[in-house]
Amino acid sequence: MRTLPLMIALATLMLSGCEKLGLGEQTPVRRIALTIDSKNVAPGDLITIRLDAPVTGKTTTIMVRDVAAKGFASGDSAYSFLIPVMAAGNASVRLPGLKGSDTLQVTVRSVAPVVDPGKVLADFAVVRNRCIDSLMKQIPGADFTPAVQTQAMFKQ
């Protein structure tokens, strides 16, 4: 008969001890909603993920499929990152270091590989030179003349 009151006392002590240690009820993890600025992406695209909570650090790891990308804080509630090189198709995007964050879905487009880098650079140079020429052009009747420093920079 003495053991019953002793067992009740021990059970009461154990239950109250667990609550004091924080082992009783656990608070649920708050869900963090994520939004992405583009769901149709290509390798090399700069993408921003916005959180409905503050960022947890200046950098974080962002997983696109199973490929890690480094995300950089962009303001106090967003991370920006480059889509890593991967095959076209659907991909999940998640922030494993952010407990309770959603998983986003994106579609990765295929990108044609550069076959002739020399041609790409030559085409770029043509467009660049046209832009520089239009900036250097003096328009008759306008009070605008490019600064001497600007003209010297563009002639390099």
Judge if 104 and 40 occupy the same domain: yes
Judge if 104 and 121 occupy the same domain: no
Judge if 78 and 139 occupy the same domain: no
Judge if 77 and 139 occupy the same domain: no
Torsion of Cα atoms, 141 then 143 then 148 then 154, to 10° = -60
Judge if 38 and 95 occupy the same domain: yes
Query: Which structural domain range is residue 143 located in?
Result: 117-154
- pTM equals 0.59
- Of the candidates 131, 49, 146, 141, the residue with the CA atom closest to the CA atom of residue 98: 49
- pLDDT given for residue 10 in this prediction: 60
- Spans in the chain with pLDDT lower than 50: 20
Q: Could you tell me the CATH number of the domain that includes residue 103?
A: 2.60.40.10
Distance CA 80, CA 95 (A): 12
Torsion angles phi and psi, residue 7, rounded to 5: -70, -40
Tokens of 119: 């041609």
- pLDDT given for residue 74 in this prediction: 92
How distant is the alpha carbon of residue 114 from its chain centre?
26
- Say how many domains are in the chain: 2
- Please report whether residue 143 resides in a domain: yes
- Please report whether residue 55 resides in a domain: yes
Judge if 100 and 134 occupy the same domain: no
Indicate the average pLDDT of the chain.
82
- pLDDT given for residue 44 in this prediction: 92
| Look-up of token digits 């998640």 | 94
- Please report whether residue 94 resides in a domain: yes
The strand order across the sheet containing 46-51 reads 34-36, 46-51, 78-82, 67-73, 59-64, 89-94, 104-108, 40-41
